[in-house]
Amino acid sequence: MARTREKLKAAARTDFGSRSSRRLRGEALVPGVVYGGGAEARAFQAGEREIRAVLAGGQALFDLELEGSKAVPVVVKEQQLHPVRGNLQHIDLQEVKLDEAIQAEVAIELEGAETAPGVKEGGVLEHVTREITVEALPTEIPERLVADVSEMQINDTVQLSTIAAPEGVKFVAEDPDEVTIATLSPPRVEEEPEPAVEEEAELVGEEGEAPAAEDGGDSGDGGDSGDSGE
């Protein structure tokens, strides 16, 4: 699976603290740290646009070239995004050796949803598991995995076991049959208000009128008693 790796050029970072980080972000730069390689963690800064361009390529593995140092292969360890604006706030990278297997998160995409019989019948397709941990050599980490849902009927489920792992890649899951990728549920039917509630209210009203009529009758009886008094 030979391919050209993306390269991110960065500068060493010597100023630290929240004030320094805010200043960098104001200049469209992102603070970061690269770990591993048998050396201490190294702080760096790089342009957010350049980082996003590298990550947009979809490759789990790319090269980091710190100013004045040789480029080294790295993978993303962690990203921090702004909770509202969504822009990149900080990034941690992990230096790797190309001949040693690593674990990485890979996105799972659904394919064929528009032709699935259950979807055409109005069923609701839910993408349950959107990424999975895999283990492989850094150069063999796939950009993405694809789950075929084109044959799904209503009440069907697709498990991880239906996805064939690429050569040299192993899924890090105890039991692939227990990992649900997608489900297709019956159409959601909105229940209309039951008229029985209104009917019950009418019945209560009618029953409430009955005692009033009886009271009138009792008054009449009282009048009769008065007559007998005469």
- 10 Å CB burial of residue 123 (0-12, 13-18, 19+) is buried
- For residue 1, what are its two tokens? 């699976």
The band of 214, judged by pLDDT with boundaries at 50, 70 and 90, is very low
Residues with Cβ within 8 Å of residue 130, at least 6 apart in sequence:
107, 108
The band of 111, judged by pLDDT with boundaries at 50, 70 and 90, is very high
**Helix spans in the chain (H):** 18-26, 48-56, 117-120, 196-229
Which of these, 103, 80, 88, lies nearest to 53 by C-alpha position? 88
pLDDT tens, position by position, 169-209: 999 988 999 999 999 999 977 666 666 555 555 555 555 55
Q: Provide φ and ψ at 217, rounded to 5°.
A: -65, -40
Which helix (H) or strand (E) segment holds residue 141: the answer is: none
Is there a contact between 151 and 113 (Cβ–Cβ < 8 Å)?
A: no
- For residue 163, what are its two tokens? 């996805």
pLDDT tens, position by position, 70-82: 999 999 888 888 8
- pLDDT, greater one: 87 or 133: 133
Whether the per-residue pLDDT at 155 is higher than 90: the answer is yes
Which helix (H) or strand (E) segment holds residue 75: the answer is: strand 72-81
